[in-house]
């Protein structure tokens, strides 16, 4: 009996839902509130790469092979793409509009949530160093994927990316030469070790974990776009309660509080950039 392609697609959608349930029940990681189109694409890619015949077969395998889950599928499903000084206009805006606010605090704590391999947190370290805030600064980089955190701790980027990063850095208002911040070694560029001293990397899961200290600034860019509205609301609520009064929330260029329940508890700091300030009168 041949099954029509539409029936097959319907079945795949059921298998897909069951797969995410299986991952949650077996490993405790909850991808059920992620963008379905995105996750489905990642899973489809894994099936093709490993020659696995169906989503059910993949489910069977990852229930019985924990190494396969942690080293492969978990990595497929986490968001690992990042670059230094991505969206230079954002960094320029931080220099011009956010730094004067941060400068009013005696000690500045900045949390990069979902930092992946750390390119953006190193960018922020460079920026805040150039703006003279380095001595009273602590940066926290968190992700739920230990593999990318290990890579972030190394502070190494591909030499092929350096040209683009240099251009981004300049467009973002860099005041020095970008080459001051790395040492080229074969195919890699080792970022200036001094930057690392101000960064603490830790495992934190935005979907499952709680408030993360009282921050002056939270940066979470291009993570929320992968979440559905319900999960976005929960995470923005978590950010709200992890910020001091007047604290700053920075989102990705295509993310906003537009549809969020918390929208009226923040003020947009400037048009054109997704930079928000928590009200002073609330807690």
Q: Which residues bind other proteins (CB under 8 A)?
A: 4-7, 9, 13, 35-38, 40-41, 79, 81, 88, 171, 222, 225-226, 229, 252-256, 258-259
Output the smallest distance, CB 219 to other proteins, in A.
15
- Of residues 276, 280, 198, 201, the one with CA closest to residue 239: 276
Taking the C-alpha atoms of residue 78 and residue 28, their distance in angstroms, rounded to an integer, is: 14
User: In whole angstroms, how close is the CB of 278 to other proteins at the nearest point?
Assistant: 22
**Please, what is the minimum distance in Å from the beta carbon of residue 41 to other proteins?**
7
Cβ closest to other proteins, residue 28 vs residue 272: 272
Other C-beta atoms within 10 Å of 7: how many?
10
Nearer to other proteins, 143 or 255 (CB): 255
CB of 225 to other proteins, least distance (A): 5
φ and ψ at residue 276, rounded to 5 degrees: -125, 150
Of 116 and 128, CB closest to other proteins: 116
The nearest distance, CB 144 to other proteins, in angstroms, is 17
Q: Is 52 helix (H, G, I), strand (E, B) or coil?
A: coil
C-beta of 84 vs 215, nearer to other proteins? 84
Q: Shortest gap between Cβ of 6 and other proteins (angstroms)?
A: 5
Residue (59 or 222) nearer to other proteins, CB: 222
Q: How far is CA 102 from the centre of its chain?
A: 22
Closer to other proteins by CB, 216 or 222: give it: 222
* Phi, psi for 251 (deg, rounded to 5): -110, 170
In which order are the strands placed within the sheet that holds 137-143? Answer: 199-203, 137-143, 108-113, 215-220, 243-251, 275-278, 266-268
Pairing of strands 137-143, 108-113: parallel
Residue 67 or 81: the one with the smaller Cβ distance to other proteins is 81
Query: Exposure string (b/e) for 239-275, b if CB count within 10 Å is 16 or more?
Result: bbebbbeebbbbbbeebebeebebeebbeebeeebbb
Least distance in angstroms from the C-beta of 89 to other proteins: 9
The tokens of 205 are what?
A: 């899961």
Classify the C-alpha dihedral 90-96-97-99 as positive or negative: positive
């Amino acid at each position: 009996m041949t099954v029509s392609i539409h029936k097959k697609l319907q079945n795949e959608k059921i298998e897909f839902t069951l797969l995410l349930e299986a991952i949650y029940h077996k490993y405790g990681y909850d991808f059920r509130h992620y963008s379905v189109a995105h996750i489905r694409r990642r899973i489809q890619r894994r099936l093709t790469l490993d020659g696995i015949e169906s989503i059910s077969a993949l489910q069977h395998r990852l229930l019985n092979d924990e190494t396969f889950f942690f080293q492969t599928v978990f990595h497929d499903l986490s968001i690992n793409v990042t670059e230094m000084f991505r969206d230079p206009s954002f960094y320029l805006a931080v220099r011009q509009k956010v730094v004067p606010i941060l400068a009013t605090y005696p000690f500045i704590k900045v949390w990069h949530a979902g930092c992946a391999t750390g390119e953006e947190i190193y960018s922020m370290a460079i920026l805040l160093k150039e703006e003279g805030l380095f001595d009273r600064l602590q940066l926290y980089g968190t992700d739920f994927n230990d593999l990318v955190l290990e890579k972030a701790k190394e502070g190494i980027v591909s030499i092929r990316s350096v040209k683009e990063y240099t251009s981004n850095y300049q467009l973002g208002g860099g005041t020095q030469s970008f080459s001051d911040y790395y040492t080229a070694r074969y195919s890699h560029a080792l970022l200036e070790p001094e930057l690392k001293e101000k960064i603490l990397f830790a495992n934190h899961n935005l979907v499952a974990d709680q408030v993360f200290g009282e921050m002056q600034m939270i940066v979470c860019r291009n993570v929320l776009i992968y979440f559905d509205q319900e999960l976005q609301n929960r995470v923005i609520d978590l950010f709200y309660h992890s910020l001091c009064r007047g604290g700053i929330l920075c989102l990705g260029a295509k993310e906003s509080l537009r549809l969020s329940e918390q929208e009226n508890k923040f003020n947009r700091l400037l048009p054109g950039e997704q930079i928000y300030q928590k009200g002073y009168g609330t807690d």
